[in-house]
């Protein structure tokens, strides 16, 4: 029986003794070593009571075993739900409850904090550490290295990835087997990935970029990855001579450029550098070419759609653009007011349609209907235009979103928490330019009459509720918020007022 995603990405590499994961300490795992762990984990998922279609929530450190858990979920027909390792217990609790996950696998160090979360949701809890330790790993010891792959159809769900909204709480984007498979096959071809490629992988594996773009593309090509727990400049520079390609967020590239050890020689063995998840400044693109003689290939995607556009492999990689719609992806620019398609060259909202576009938000039919048209076009919330050569540029966002170091942060979630704090009448959270993260979070607090909010106490509350990357890096107190005649807060006025707040960073 078939399971298209497993068969094409994992099954196709069965029996290969070629390296798949190269670790910084010199150890490596072959494709077949990796698949054996995945199959043992698939047995452990079944033993934990998971059935095809059940959700598996995971909050674990990046490691070969963590990646094998993804493969195991695909093989067992279970819906994989990876979570940012920085999320607090409060945040995890929402995802587990909303998704109805049957099992939560977390790092052993987090088990105590997450036990009440799992209990409250009636979810099982097992642990998997970055050394392959923990109760989940124990339950996979001594079981067979082979597992009868569970049959799945192209339209069956493979993963849930939560993405925050401009209003309300996060939405579970339902991604099918076909969504993931079609996109990685297209990308592997467009970017000329082969079994000879070695990808320098320093991205987290709980987001589309590190999991479905970097990993799935490598698997589709039968290549290898230098699999690093995080972006550490020294390790990246040390490992680059072994690699042929790298994928990263713009912060990776600005950090590389900030280091004199990163030279044309250091990059000489690389055939391709790819950037995405946040805008790459045209200046970074030019500096990179000046330093290495190579042009970064910028592409554009979303959690709901995987990748939509890419600059060409052959042909001009144009700075400040995200290239052309990928084969099979239709892209149109529409009027945000009435949805009518706009003529070429005009700025409007970007809409995309294709096999990459998700199935909808889990148990949120109204939110799905608001963003996914009946004709299949998904309204991205990004504003863009297409130039006369067909290159797409993103010129802004229709949605209130901050992207810090490639992580998306929705101001609404932070404002809701700040508004609840003693002495705070209202708040506005904005993104301001930051040299390292591209943008960073700044909060403007308006006190209740006669009150003076205790900033230290508010910071303490924020740190128990929200992941570190969402914390405002500065909180300023203001008498009032600028509003337009409709009473809407003018965030553009605030962004302008505080644009130099981190000028030195
Ligand atoms: C870490 N910190 C951050 C961030 N990362 N704060 C804000 N924004 C961040 N992105 C915190 C740390 O907890 C630490 O807190 C402090 O900032 C400095 O940490 P540092 O050591 O400099 O950070 P790092 O560990 O080196 O991480 C920076 C990073 C990382 C390498 C840029 O954030 C990263 O790997 N980002 C990639 C995110 C990603 O994969 N996005 C793809 C989403 P303290 O002050 O306590 O020390 S998928 C997507 O967007 C779509 C689909 C797409 O198109 O790809
Ligand atoms: P996510 O919700 O994590 O999937 O992030 C998707 C958002 O990241 C998109 O809607 C864009 O706003 C942004 N994004 C991704 N790639 C790029 C890029 N190359 N340039 C500008 N913005 C990007």
In DSSP terms, 384 is beta-bridged to 348, 394
Nearest-atom number in ligand 1 for the CA of 231 is 31
- Give the relative orientation of helices 111-121 and 89-99 as an angle to the nearest 10 degrees: 30
Angstrom distances, CA of residue 267 to CA of 25, 238, 248, 296, 423 = 21, 11, 15, 12, 53
Q: Provide the pLDDT for residue 398.
A: 86
List residues near ligand 2 (CB under 6 A): 163, 208, 276-279, 298, 300-303, 322, 380-382, 394, 397, 403, 408
DSSP string, 333-370: EE-TTT-PBPPTT--EEEEEESTTS--EETT-HHHHHH
C-alpha 406 to ligand 1 mean position (Å): 7
- 36-40-46-51 Cα dihedral, nearest 10 degrees: -20
Q: Does the pLDDT of residue 342 top 90, yes or no?
A: yes
Evaluate whether 415 touches 429 at the Cβ level (below 8 Å): yes
Q: Provide the pLDDT for residue 505.
A: 56
Evaluate whether 78 touches 54 at the Cβ level (below 8 Å): yes
With cut-offs at 50, 70 and 90, classify the pLDDT of residue 485.
Answer: confident
Q: Provide the pLDDT for residue 345.
A: 96
Q: Provide the pLDDT for residue 443.
A: 98
- Give per-residue pLDDT as tens, 12-45: 999 999 999 999 999 999 999 999 999 999 999 9
- Give per-residue pLDDT as tens, 239-293: 999 999 999 999 999 999 999 999 999 999 999 999 999 999 999 999 999 999 9
Answer whether 305 contacts ligand 1 (Cβ < 6 A): no
CA angle 440, 445, 448 (to 5 degrees): 170
**Tokens encoding 461:** 């509350």
Per DSSP, the three-state class of 103 is: strand
Q: Provide the pLDDT for residue 166.
A: 66
Nearest CA to ligand 1 atom 29: 405
C-alpha 421 to ligand 2 mean position (Å): 31
- Give per-residue pLDDT as tens, 91-109: 999 999 999 999 999 999 9
Helices (H), 384-438: 411-419
Evaluate whether 475 touches 455 at the Cβ level (below 8 Å): yes
Nearest-atom number in ligand 2 for the CA of 207 is 3
Per DSSP, the three-state class of 480 is: coil
C-alpha 26 to ligand 2 mean position (Å): 34
- Give per-residue pLDDT as tens, 159-191: 999 997 666 679 999 999 999 999 999 999 999
- Give per-residue pLDDT as tens, 391-430: 999 999 888 899 999 999 999 999 999 999 999 999 999 9
**What average pLDDT does range 309-320 have in this prediction?**
97
Answer whether 129 contacts ligand 1 (Cβ < 6 A): no
C-alpha 252 to ligand 1 mean position (Å): 10
Which of 307, 382, 384, 395 is the pocket-test mutation for ligand 2 (most atoms within 8 Å of CB)?
382
Answer whether 277 contacts ligand 1 (Cβ < 6 A): yes
The sign of the CA dihedral 488, 493, 497, 498 is positive
**What average pLDDT does range 138-162 have in this prediction?**
97
Nearest CA to ligand 1 atom 43: 207
C-alpha 470 to ligand 1 mean position (Å): 10
In DSSP terms, 352 is beta-bridged to 331, 378
This prediction has a pTM of 0.96
Q: Provide the pLDDT for residue 167.
A: 66
C-alpha 355 to ligand 2 mean position (Å): 19
């Amino acid at each position: 029986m078939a399971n298209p995603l497993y068969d094409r990405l994992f099954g196709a590499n069965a029996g290969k003794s070629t390296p798949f994961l190269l670790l910084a300490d010199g150890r490596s795992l072959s494709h077949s070593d990796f698949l054996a762990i995945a199959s043992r984990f698939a047995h452990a998922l079944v033993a934990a009571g998971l059935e095809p279609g059940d959700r598996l929530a995971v909050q674990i450190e990046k490691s070969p075993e963590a990646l094998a858990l993804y493969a195991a979920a695909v093989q067992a027909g279970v819906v994989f739900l990876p979570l940012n390792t920085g999320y607090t217990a409060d945040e995890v609790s929402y995802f587990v409850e909303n998704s109805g996950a049957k099992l939560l696998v977390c790092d052993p160090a987090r088990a105590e904090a997450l036990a009440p979360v799992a209990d409250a949701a009636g979810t099982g809890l097992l642990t998997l550490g970055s050394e392959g330790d923990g109760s989940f790993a124990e339950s996979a010891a001594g079981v067979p290295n082979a597992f009868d792959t569970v049959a799945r159809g192209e339209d069956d769900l493979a993963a849930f990835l939560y993405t925050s909204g401009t209003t309300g709480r996060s939405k579970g984007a339902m991604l099918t087997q076909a969504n993931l498979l079609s996109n990685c096959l297209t990308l592997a071809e467009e970017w000329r990935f082969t079994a000879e490629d070695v990808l320098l992988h320093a991205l987290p594996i709980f987001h589309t970029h590190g999991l479905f773009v970097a990993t799935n593309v490598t698997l589709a090509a039968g290549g290898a990855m230098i699999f690093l727990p995080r972006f550490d400049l020294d390790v990246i520079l040390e490992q680059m001579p072994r690699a042929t390609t790298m994928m990263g967020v713009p912060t990776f590239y600005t950090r590389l450029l900030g280091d004199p050890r990163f030279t044309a020689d250091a990059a000489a063995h690389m055939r391709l550098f790819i950037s995405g998840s946040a805008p790459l400044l045209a200046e970074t693109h030019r500096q990179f070419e000046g330093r290495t003689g190579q042009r970064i290939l910028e592409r554009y995607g979303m959690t709901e759609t995987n990748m939509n556009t890419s600059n060409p492999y052959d042909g001009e990689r144009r700075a400040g653009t995200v290239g052309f719609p990928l084969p099979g992806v239709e892209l149109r620019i529409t009027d945000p007011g009435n949805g009518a398609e706009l003529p070429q060259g005009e700025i409007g909202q970007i809409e995309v349609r294709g096999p990459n576009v998700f199935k909808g938000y889990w148990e949120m039919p109204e939110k799905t209907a608001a963003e996914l048209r009946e004709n299949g076009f998904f309204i991205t919330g990004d504003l863009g235009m297409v130039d006369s050569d067909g290159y797409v540029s993103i010129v802004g966002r229709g949605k209130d979103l901050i992207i810090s170091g490639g992580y998306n942060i929705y101001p609404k979630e932070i404002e809701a928490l700040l508004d609840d704090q003693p002495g705070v009448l209202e708040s506005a959270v904005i993104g301001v330019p930051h040299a390292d993260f591209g943008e960073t979070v700044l909060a403007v607090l308006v006190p209740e009459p006669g009150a003076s909010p205790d900033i230290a106490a508010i910071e303490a509350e924020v740190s128990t509720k929200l992941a570190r990357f969402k914390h405002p890096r500065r909180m300023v107190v203001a008498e009032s918020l600028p509003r337009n005649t409709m009473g809407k807060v003018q965030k553009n006025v605030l962004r302008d007022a505080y644009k130099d707040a981190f000028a030195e960073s």
